[in-house]
Structure 1
Amino acid sequence: MRKIPAALAGALQTGATTLCRCWRLTRQDGVVLGITDHDIDLVIECTAFEANGGFEASAREAEAGLATLGGEVNGALTSDRIRVEDIEAGLYDGAELRCYLVNWQAPALNFLTDVSTLGEIRRIDGRFVAETRNAFHTYDQERGRLFTASCSAELGDNRCGVVLAAPPFRMTGTVASTDGRHKLTATAVANSVTGLFTRGTVTFTSGANAGFSTIIKDHRAGGELVLWQGLVRELAPGDGFSVTAGCDKRFATCRDRFANAANFRGFPFMPAPEFVMTYARPGEGHHQGRPLVR
């Protein structure tokens, strides 16, 4: 049985309604936001909890076991600290949300009622709706090594071994032209092999998008880069960026483009699933049990 702190238990026994909920939101970049359903702002343990009547949390399911359960939080975009561009830039994806029951006459963060992680965030008519997931959602993610034809390593990590710190796999430059959201061209990558930066990452180092990174959908001839996700803030000529190469995780790419076949972390000669449906045909008996691929 869970023990309630003495001060909070005393407040509950008085019968007076002096309780509120406080949500402490910690983004993956370290930014901490506080929101409360109380009618005035509260400051608890150096965190300012902003009064916001539009912030609500749905009922959460609770049951024994390791099932992934969730709910939703939603609110109006009235706080100056919760900005549309930050939501669209993915700064709140994977953020930790802690909910506390607080006696606003003697505020303290000593009774934690729920811990969850923010999942998908949607915007609907000036409001945001965020899916919340409990800690067990991490068990739904793949663990260990999978037997697949494609490589399971990420380009540039310890298992891959390719060094991305210098040209030609990492380039820096400035935007020459852009449509402001989805495309840009730069002379720095104009002479690079077409497709080298497809599935790579571009990080902007100056301008309105400074510090923001996104995935490249397509690297076309002439130094044109098409982004998977449209930028929230306007991109302008002269903005600085750095870009790293991408990989489609095929053995041929690993061997021919990166000369890294020895570190390929897939099984390129593994038969496709439909191989089990094949049957013997006249004249095909010359294998005599030997491997089909050497």
Structure 2
Amino acid sequence: MTVQALHDHLATGLTHVCQCWAIKRRDGVVLGFTDHDRALAFDGITFVAESGMTARALSNTTGLSVDNTEAVGVLTADAVTEADITAGRYDQAEVTVWLVCWDDVSARKVKFRGTMGEITRNGGQFQVDLRGLAEALNQPQGRSYLKTCSAVLGDRSCGINTKTDAAYVAEVTVDRDTDGQTFDLATLVPFNAEWFKDGFLEVLTGVAKGLSATIKADELNGPRREILLWQPLGLPIAVGDELRLVAGCDKRAQTCREKFTNLANFQGFPHIPGDDWLMAVPRSGDANDGGSLQ
């Protein structure tokens, strides 16, 4: 890629440039689009023309200010579909936008890099907010002093490996029909009831591959196990599809100690006084020896 070649081309005053943008979903699928009248290809991506999708003007700022823009398009069966949007496949998808010399794609420059934000749909069209890399800096920082743990199960501060540790992860094949919200599965010995409550269900194969949802309830029913999600998956689940279940954590110190044997990494403050401590005052009938009033 030669940025200088693009600058030299722009300096001529007679330009042959267009925009190309790539969307990389969390399931690894990459889609390319361009506002040129024919398809272009570079970096192993084919940027489709006449896709019904356009990117609006970019708002670029200096320093650490957030760069934001938006893209609009038509829902089409061979590109961005309503089913995929509803299923959440485009949530937090990575977006890269280039300015490209269409008769020499090696002369190009990245104009924008970020992620997809809110997606709205209306009348067969969609509009999506694109959020720049500096958006991540626009997040509250610091710890909250709460009795419950502030870590997310499996992150660096937690330390539990939820990808490969067999004590907290189970893979199972769907062997009965499901509506995408309630799953009647094999018992999955030796996991107790509610072991996966507050955890995640991830789809490994099938048309819904890559989707995940939070588990609301996990109950044993004889030789079977019933998993209930907070909301149904956006795409159908068929018999034979593979699922991964990840153990749940209610963020209590007792759970961290007894279920995960991980109290050393507990990120909460289980002994912090409650709000009623603020109302505590000395009383004449108490010992009043200078110790805690609780």
TM-score, normalised via structure 2 length: 0.80
Is the alpha carbon distance of 1:264 and 1:108 closer, same or farther for their aligned partners in structure 2, counting shifts above 3 Å?
same
Is the alpha carbon distance of 1:114 and 1:175 closer, same or farther for their aligned partners in structure 2, counting shifts above 3 Å?
closer
- Does the CA-based 8 Å contact 1:217-1:227 persist in structure 2? yes
Aligned twin of 1:200: 199
How many matched pairs? 288
Paired residues for 1:258-277 under 5 Å: 258-272=260-274, 274-275=275-276, 277=278
Task: In structure 1, give the amino acid aligned to 2:97.
Answer: C
Aligned twin of 1:70: 68
How far does residue 262 in structure 1 lie from its aligned partner after superposition?
4.0
Task: In structure 1, give the amino acid aligned to 2:152.
Answer: E
How far does residue 30 in structure 1 lie from its aligned partner after superposition?
4.2
* Aligned equivalent of 1:227, options 217, 220, 229: 229
Aligned twin of 1:280: 281
Aligned twin of 2:85: 87
Task: In structure 2, give the amino acid aligned to 1:96.
Answer: E
Cα distance in 1 for partners of 2:161, 2:103 equals 57
Task: In structure 2, give the amino acid aligned to 1:104.
Answer: W
Is the alpha carbon distance of 1:115 and 1:157 closer, same or farther for their aligned partners in structure 2, counting shifts above 3 Å?
closer
How far does residue 196 in structure 1 lie from its aligned partner after superposition?
1.8
Paired residues for 1:66-215 under 5 Å: 66-78=64-76, 80-143=78-141, 145-156=143-154, 159-160=157-158, 165-167=165-167, 169-189=168-188, 192-215=191-214
The answer for unaligned runs of 5 or more in structure 2 is none
Cα distance in 2 for partners of 1:207, 1:27 equals 17
More displaced, 121-130 or 158-167?
Answer: 158-167
- Does the CA-based 8 Å contact 1:190-1:221 persist in structure 2? no
Cα distance in 2 for partners of 1:65, 1:8 equals 23
Is the alpha carbon distance of 1:96 and 1:237 closer, same or farther for their aligned partners in structure 2, counting shifts above 3 Å?
closer
SS at match of 1:61: coil
Task: In structure 2, give the amino acid aligned to 1:132.
Answer: L
Cα distance in 2 for partners of 1:113, 1:38 equals 16
- Does the CA-based 8 Å contact 1:38-1:53 persist in structure 2? no
- Does the CA-based 8 Å contact 2:202-2:211 persist in structure 1? yes
Cα distance in 2 for partners of 1:156, 1:231 equals 22
How far does residue 132 in structure 1 lie from its aligned partner after superposition?
1.0
How far does residue 6 in structure 1 lie from its aligned partner after superposition?
4.8
Aligned twin of 1:239: 241
SS at match of 2:105: coil
CA RMSD of aligned residues (A): 3.3
How far does residue 151 in structure 1 lie from its aligned partner after superposition?
1.3
Is the alpha carbon distance of 1:176 and 1:104 closer, same or farther for their aligned partners in structure 2, counting shifts above 3 Å?
closer
Is the alpha carbon distance of 1:116 and 1:210 closer, same or farther for their aligned partners in structure 2, counting shifts above 3 Å?
closer
More displaced, 26-35 or 240-249?
Answer: 26-35
- Does the CA-based 8 Å contact 1:170-1:245 persist in structure 2? yes
Is the alpha carbon distance of 1:269 and 1:110 closer, same or farther for their aligned partners in structure 2, counting shifts above 3 Å?
same
Is the alpha carbon distance of 1:216 and 1:19 closer, same or farther for their aligned partners in structure 2, counting shifts above 3 Å?
same
